[in-house]
Chain A
Amino acid sequence: MSQPADRGAPPAPSPDTAHNWRGVATEDTEELSVGAGVFLRDRSRRLLGELLSPHRRALWGLLSVITGQNIAWLAGPFLIGVGIDVAVPALIDGDAGPLAWVTGAMLAAAAVDTVLRFVFLSWSGRIGQAVLLRLRRRVFTHVQRLPLSFHERYTSGKTISRLTSDVEAIEELFDEGLDNLVTAVFSVLTIGVVLVVLDPPLGVVALLGFPALFWVARWFQRNSTAAYRRTRQTIAALIVQFTETFGGIRAVQAFRREPRNDELYAVLNEDNRQAHDRAFWLIAVFIPAVTLIGNLVTVAVLGYGALRVMDGALAVGTLVSFLLYLRRFFDPLQDVAMFYNSYQSATAALEKLSGVLEEVPTVPEPTDPVPLPEARGELVFDGMRFGYTDRVVLPLLDLHVPAGQTVALVGATGAGKSTLARLAARFYDPTTGAVRLDGVPLTLLSDADLRRAVVMVTQESFLFSGTVADNIAFGRPGAGRAEIEAAARAIGAHEFIAALPAGYDTDVSKRGGRLSAGQRQLVSFARAFLADPAVLILDEATSSLDVPSERLVQHALQTLLADRTALIIAHRLSTVEIADRALVMADGLIVEDGSPAELVAGTGRFADLHRAWADSLV
């Protein structure tokens, strides 16, 4: 299936009409290399196989149900034929018996058909939904396990499109496709047999259509693979633009971005239309071609059959049944065609999904973790080097933080403070060297142990939709209301929370939009406070607070941090006061290290910073 046509998949969407508004990034090249058609197909087929494998037995069961149903369904035309050939003459001869029999059989067949059909539909629905749930779970869990570097590269919009529109494409396959396929393939096979059995010469004429059918199907398959692959890309591009626009709607409106966004979205939307248009055009040719073949065969059968009837080699009733069967033979073929269509679309989606599933969690949990039930909190950075891309951010870092020490980290913006913090929380793994907690490299700790021991309050205070209490409890699921309140009280958030319309049960809306920036920070602080870790990392956790609130938080910290290791990043040196030790970072290196008082007294950067800060005060 590795036609050159597949390789030459259309280039990634390039909606830049006038400007390259999206900008350049390293991952673009990866996106373009989606050309290894065979590999992708195999990978997605493997995934489909894996998803279906727990249902292997159920699928056999389904097959037997559908067999029964088809037999019942096929009995219809046969019985009508019998009725016309046997029961009607018998009735004319005064014998109503055969007619009664035939009618009874028809009704019974109809009843069996209906019941089995119901069983089939609800059963296959159940299997389909089970597969989807499993797929959803699997992709979701995997995405959660993937490192931040993946998420930064992939963007949330694309991940969302994988978990929504791609999963829905597969759902469609199960919803309509599977049913169509099984029924159709089965009817085609059985009717094929019946046709040949009913009257072999006519059957052979009917089967002459096959090579043509095969040829058409192959043409469709060759061309549609690339076409459907492209539709998955264009819809994802739409979703990315959509989520970003409405995630930043304030800026969009305040800066009158709407007209430009309209333009960009229209281009992406038109791209998406064209991609679908191409795919649908292929079906528009494919299905009529199947019909045409069917009709030609029917005419041939009618002509040949009529001649044979005239020669007395065939009964009229048989010819009629034969034609009826022929119709039932070609109608399902259209279903097969439709199935093929949803199948191609689902495979394209599966390709994308299997791509995500194939992403290696480069910051993996160890298979054989070193247990660390009770961390003391000694943190060591040992010959560590790190860069997000090829550019090195932290060239070489050696740092020993004894358990229980509170370390303040200061330095110019972009110096690498947050980066250091992220490495301590194992958002990333260092390129070389190691980070050790109580002598154990972070890479050897289980996720549960690590997260219990090390908690970080990030620079961005993201809240989840849900109540204030839910959000604080995020720090320790299962915490009671009293504990939640205690945490809020400790950092001085209780007053404002209590003043909210529903107190702790107030819904914070999407991303905590119901709260002010400072309030959001307090809530994320309370969240970390409740988590109660051995090592607490605060990345500018109080930057949006007013001075009195900040002071309250510091009070809380003093008690909280008494027996804990802490890494506090702050630009306001007031926050640094409570530290035992201060580090100054510049260009990824630690350039000063000492107690705050020592450093202030010296002549280095810290003293400089401190002077500037003191001058900035009233």
Chain B
Amino acid sequence: MDTTPHPAPPDDRGRLAALLRLWPFTRPYRGLVALTFTAALLATLTQLAVPLLTAAVVDGPIAAGDRSGLLPLLALALLFGVAEAALFFLRRWAMNRSSLRIERDLRDALYQRLQRLPVAFHDRWGSGQLLSRATTDISTVRRFVGFAAVFLAVNLITCVVVLVLLLVTYWPLGLAVLVTTVPLTFLGLRWERRYNIQSRQVQDQQGELTTDVEEAVQGIRVVKALGRSGLVFDRYDAKATVLRRMQLERVRTLALLWCIFELHPQVTLAVILVGGAVAVNTGALTVGGLVGFVALFTVLLWPILSLGFLFAFAQETASACDRIGELLDEPVTVTDRPGVRSAAIGTPARLRLEGVGFAYPGSADPVLSGIDLDVAPGETVALVGATGSGKTTLTALVGRLYDVTAGRVTLDGVDVRDLPLAQLRSVVSTAFEDATLFSMSVRENVTLGRTDATDAEVDEALRVAQAEFVHDLPWGLATRIGEQGLSLSGGQRQRLALARAVLGRPSVLILDDPLSALDVHTEALVEQALRKVLAETTALVVAHRPSTVLLADRVALLSGGRITAIGRHSDLLAEVPEYRDLLAQDSELADAGFAEVAS
């Protein structure tokens, strides 16, 4: 049930490139990042002061028994100590400012991008994967930017500086220290690569788990209705167990890495002792010199120790960046063509489909082909077809939720792809077959994209849809309706969705089976009110029932991906057997008292 594609982690060169993707996001905060870095570097350098001063105290005042010489050195040490703390604060302050803002910007950017990716993309991607990228991965990036990146640089610099100081203090011993870093680097790199693959696996699995949680929660009604919590739990558990296994493998690699970096400085210290003792013996080094050398080296303990962890973190961030980058790189295929300008679209508009064909991405068989349909301004055409014949698909092409794969759709003669999306979607309005409501106030749900709608307009739309029940809700239009509108009855949801569609008198109105959840009386009332709206707008109405069909001036029969018949309802009923089969509600089950249906 792996719903989303997982590309394999790229090679090492790709790692750096992945991290560099972040570069543009740091632009507004480069000053702060530089400040962070400088403060961190200076803080580290001040740390060097203490061992150097210790050596100075040992070799100077102590050796000379000079009490008065002690004071200036101590004052210096005090100064450096305070400076270090101040620099720490500065670093953290600057780091918080920049990293949290970078995180915020990245998250905004990702959200904005995802909202604009075509519906086809969202069909393909499990939302859990999207969510885990927008939360976990972006937080990983923040922690890297705010912490690891700076320290990676600072610690590397510290290592180099200290190594140079060590070389200056006593070069043969310094050289020995340098040589010990060779096997460290070699081993480190090996484990890093493994770690990188493992952390990507973990991140992907976390996404899968999120998807599972989401489905289990959103599908809770079905789970309960069928009493399948056990099954759902088993699924989740299996994935969680896999996640644990992956995490353990990752932790193991991390532990190995950590150990190598922990072992190294201690072994080196032994080397220093032996070398130092020999040097003192031969008179090449003073005892104070050796003490200073050791003290200097201990400054390296933490930088070296942390390098392993920091490199691992960099790897983790690189894969997080990859995962985020995958989304940011997705082409926005349904978008404005360069240089589009809004055109005058009348209300009502003329809607034409010319030789339209459509196949869902990744599927070879077209759902629709060679569709020609001309809807005159103000006309209402009903779309009739068997379950799965492509009615919903066809309606989605008008508002460019998908782009046609052949032919074109025009409004007043303008190809919809030559209109700015914003304009197109403001003139085309749709009531979907499922209501698609959000846990917001009723008013916000009805106005959705038209937040400037007046109260009068909203009331009018609610009246047309017979959705005045909302006034009886506890807080009227300000009442929050539950997620997906589930605190409303089925018919109430559908009427709200209808109100949303008719709000503001769109030029083209698309109603996808808009009355399926209504009882006969309410249906009649809605139809009556809707007729007036339909008279002033061009409309496509998907219909399964004769009553809905009667709203239309003409009917198009969709079959096998083509429009096989088009005409008035009564004519089709008389002439097209397939149409009759689809709509004639005569029932062989009816007893005498029931339905004396026209046939």
- Asked if A458 contacts B251 (CB within 8 A), the reply is no
- Across the interface, which residues of B come within 8 angstroms of A572, CB to CB? 545
The answer, yes or no, to whether A333 is at the interface (CB within 8 Å) is no
- Asked if A518 contacts B85 (CB within 8 A), the reply is no
- Asked if A618 contacts B594 (CB within 8 A), the reply is no
Distance between Cα atoms of A577 and B274 in the complex (Å): 99
- Across the interface, which residues of A come within 8 angstroms of B240, CB to CB? 133, 136-137, 140
- Asked if B225 contacts A612 (CB within 8 A), the reply is no
Distance between Cα atoms of A330 and B450 in the complex (Å): 59
Given known contacts A243-B214, A320-B295, is B248 in contact with A129 (CB within 8 Å)?
yes
The answer, yes or no, to whether A609 is at the interface (CB within 8 Å) is yes
The answer, yes or no, to whether B455 is at the interface (CB within 8 Å) is no
A110, A296, A558: which has the most chain B beta carbons within 10 Å?
Answer: A110
B101, B448, B469, B569: which has the most chain A beta carbons within 10 Å?
Answer: B448
Given known contacts A412-B519, A465-B126, A600-B593, is B226 in contact with A151 (CB within 8 Å)?
no
- Asked if B520 contacts A612 (CB within 8 A), the reply is yes
Q: Nearest chain-A residue to B267 (Cβ)?
A: A110
The answer, yes or no, to whether A501 is at the interface (CB within 8 Å) is yes
Instruction: Annotate B424-456 by CB proximity to A: 1 below 8 A, 0 otherwise.
Output: 011011101110111111111000111100000
The one of A242, A558, A609, A617 that contacts B521, using a Cβ cutoff of 8 Å = A609
Distance between Cα atoms of A438 and B65 in the complex (Å): 101
The answer, yes or no, to whether B178 is at the interface (CB within 8 Å) is no
- Across the interface, which residues of B come within 8 angstroms of A247, CB to CB? 127, 218, 484
Distance between Cα atoms of A349 and B250 in the complex (Å): 24
Closest chain-A Cβ to B228's Cβ sits at a distance in Å of 6
The answer, yes or no, to whether A373 is at the interface (CB within 8 Å) is no
The answer, yes or no, to whether A435 is at the interface (CB within 8 Å) is no
Distance between Cα atoms of A240 and B80 in the complex (Å): 48
Instruction: Annotate A450-494 by CB proximity to B: 1 below 8 A, 0 otherwise.
Output: 111001111110101110001000110100000000000000000
User: Which residues 177-236 of B have a CB within 8 angstroms of A?
Assistant: 206, 209-211, 213-229, 231-233, 236
Closest chain-A Cβ to B592's Cβ sits at a distance in Å of 8
Instruction: Annotate A267-293 by CB proximity to B: 1 below 8 A, 0 otherwise.
Output: 001101100110011011101110110
The answer, yes or no, to whether B62 is at the interface (CB within 8 Å) is yes
User: Which listed segment binds B: A3-11, A33-41, A153-161, A400-408?
Assistant: A153-161
- Asked if A414 contacts B492 (CB within 8 A), the reply is yes
Given known contacts A253-B119, A509-B123, A618-B546, is B84 in contact with A291 (CB within 8 Å)?
yes
- Across the interface, which residues of A come within 8 angstroms of B88, CB to CB? 287-288, 291
The one of B127, B231, B448, B522 that contacts A510, using a Cβ cutoff of 8 Å = B127
The answer, yes or no, to whether A107 is at the interface (CB within 8 Å) is yes
Instruction: Annotate B541-552 by CB proximity to A: 1 below 8 A, 0 otherwise.
Output: 000111100100
Given known contacts A91-B280, A291-B84, is B491 in contact with A22 (CB within 8 Å)?
no
The one of A20, A126, A507 that contacts B441, using a Cβ cutoff of 8 Å = A20
Given known contacts A255-B425, A316-B62, is B387 in contact with A522 (CB within 8 Å)?
yes
Closest chain-A Cβ to B207's Cβ sits at a distance in Å of 10
- Across the interface, which residues of A come within 8 angstroms of B153, CB to CB? none
A141, A238, A291, A540: which has the most chain B beta carbons within 10 Å?
Answer: A291
Distance between Cα atoms of A307 and B68 in the complex (Å): 11
- Across the interface, which residues of B come within 8 angstroms of A257, CB to CB? 448-449
- Across the interface, which residues of B come within 8 angstroms of A556, CB to CB? none
- Asked if A459 contacts B251 (CB within 8 A), the reply is no
The one of A249, A284, A544, A616 that contacts B547, using a Cβ cutoff of 8 Å = A616
- Asked if A164 contacts B85 (CB within 8 A), the reply is no
- Asked if A23 contacts B244 (CB within 8 A), the reply is no
Given known contacts A288-B89, A547-B585, is B115 in contact with A618 (CB within 8 Å)?
no
Closest chain-B Cβ to A238's Cβ sits at a distance in Å of 7
The answer, yes or no, to whether B8 is at the interface (CB within 8 Å) is no
- Asked if A107 contacts B517 (CB within 8 A), the reply is no
Distance between Cα atoms of A574 and B594 in the complex (Å): 9
The answer, yes or no, to whether B566 is at the interface (CB within 8 Å) is no
- Across the interface, which residues of B come within 8 angstroms of A102, CB to CB? 273
- Across the interface, which residues of B come within 8 angstroms of A543, CB to CB? 516-517
Given known contacts A245-B115, A514-B123, is B215 in contact with A88 (CB within 8 Å)?
no
Closest chain-A Cβ to B230's Cβ sits at a distance in Å of 8
User: Which listed segment binds A: B14-22, B102-110, B336-344?
Assistant: B102-110
The one of A323, A388, A547 that contacts B582, using a Cβ cutoff of 8 Å = A547
User: Which listed segment binds A: B154-162, B318-326, B475-483?
Assistant: B475-483
Interface of A is mostly: helix
Distance between Cα atoms of A256 and B428 in the complex (Å): 11
Closest chain-B Cβ to A39's Cβ sits at a distance in Å of 27
Instruction: Annotate B287-323 by CB proximity to A: 1 below 8 A, 0 otherwise.
Output: 1001100110010001000000000000000000000
Distance between Cα atoms of A218 and B318 in the complex (Å): 37
- Asked if A546 contacts B544 (CB within 8 A), the reply is yes
Q: Nearest chain-A residue to B114 (Cβ)?
A: A246
Distance between Cα atoms of A117 and B112 in the complex (Å): 45
The answer, yes or no, to whether A76 is at the interface (CB within 8 Å) is yes
- Asked if A91 contacts B218 (CB within 8 A), the reply is no
The answer, yes or no, to whether A121 is at the interface (CB within 8 Å) is yes
The answer, yes or no, to whether B42 is at the interface (CB within 8 Å) is no
Distance between Cα atoms of A88 and B385 in the complex (Å): 97
Closest chain-B Cβ to A155's Cβ sits at a distance in Å of 5
Given known contacts A540-B517, A544-B516, is B425 in contact with A254 (CB within 8 Å)?
yes
- Asked if A516 contacts B519 (CB within 8 A), the reply is no
The one of A84, A103, A391, A609 that contacts B519, using a Cβ cutoff of 8 Å = A609
- Asked if B221 contacts A427 (CB within 8 A), the reply is yes
- Asked if A448 contacts B295 (CB within 8 A), the reply is no
- Asked if A266 contacts B281 (CB within 8 A), the reply is no
Distance between Cα atoms of A239 and B88 in the complex (Å): 33
User: Which residues 576-599 of B have a CB within 8 angstroms of A?
Assistant: 581-585, 587, 589-591, 593-598
The answer, yes or no, to whether A309 is at the interface (CB within 8 Å) is yes
Given known contacts A155-B439, A287-B88, A474-B226, is B123 in contact with A513 (CB within 8 Å)?
yes
User: Which listed segment binds A: B252-260, B408-416, B532-540?
Assistant: B252-260
The answer, yes or no, to whether A60 is at the interface (CB within 8 Å) is no
The answer, yes or no, to whether A217 is at the interface (CB within 8 Å) is no
- Asked if B131 contacts A242 (CB within 8 A), the reply is yes
- Across the interface, which residues of B come within 8 angstroms of A92, CB to CB? 280-281
Q: Nearest chain-B residue to A531 (Cβ)?
A: B226
User: Which residues 91-118 of A have a CB within 8 angstroms of B?
Assistant: 91-92, 99, 102-103, 106-107, 109-111, 113-115, 117-118
- Asked if B274 contacts A544 (CB within 8 A), the reply is no
Closest chain-A Cβ to B502's Cβ sits at a distance in Å of 12
Distance between Cα atoms of A20 and B440 in the complex (Å): 9
The answer, yes or no, to whether B116 is at the interface (CB within 8 Å) is yes
User: Which residues 126-167 of B have a CB within 8 angstroms of A?
Assistant: 126-127, 130-132, 134-136
User: Which listed segment binds B: A42-50, A188-196, A297-305?
Assistant: A297-305
Closest chain-A Cβ to B67's Cβ sits at a distance in Å of 7
The answer, yes or no, to whether A578 is at the interface (CB within 8 Å) is yes
Distance between Cα atoms of A198 and B93 in the complex (Å): 38
- Across the interface, which residues of A come within 8 angstroms of B6, CB to CB? none
The answer, yes or no, to whether A219 is at the interface (CB within 8 Å) is no
Distance between Cα atoms of A427 and B518 in the complex (Å): 23
- Asked if A510 contacts B126 (CB within 8 A), the reply is yes
- Asked if A113 contacts B277 (CB within 8 A), the reply is no
The answer, yes or no, to whether B284 is at the interface (CB within 8 Å) is no
- Asked if A256 contacts B422 (CB within 8 A), the reply is yes
- Across the interface, which residues of B come within 8 angstroms of A616, CB to CB? 520, 523-524, 545-547, 550
- Asked if B131 contacts A327 (CB within 8 A), the reply is no
Given known contacts A144-B223, A260-B449, A474-B228, is B108 in contact with A413 (CB within 8 Å)?
no
- Asked if B225 contacts A455 (CB within 8 A), the reply is yes
Closest chain-A Cβ to B409's Cβ sits at a distance in Å of 15
Closest chain-A Cβ to B52's Cβ sits at a distance in Å of 12
Provide 9 A-B residue pairs closer than 8 Å at the C-beta atoms, listed in order of the A residue. A238-B135, A247-B127, A252-B115, A462-B219, A501-B363, A547-B582, A613-B520, A616-B547, A616-B550
4 A-B pairs besides A242-B130, A306-B70, A597-B591 with CB distance below 8 A are: A21-B440, A273-B100, A288-B85, A510-B126
Return the 7 tightest CB-CB contacts between A and B, nearest first.
A451-B227, A413-B491, A295-B81, A23-B441, A23-B480, A518-B387, A125-B251
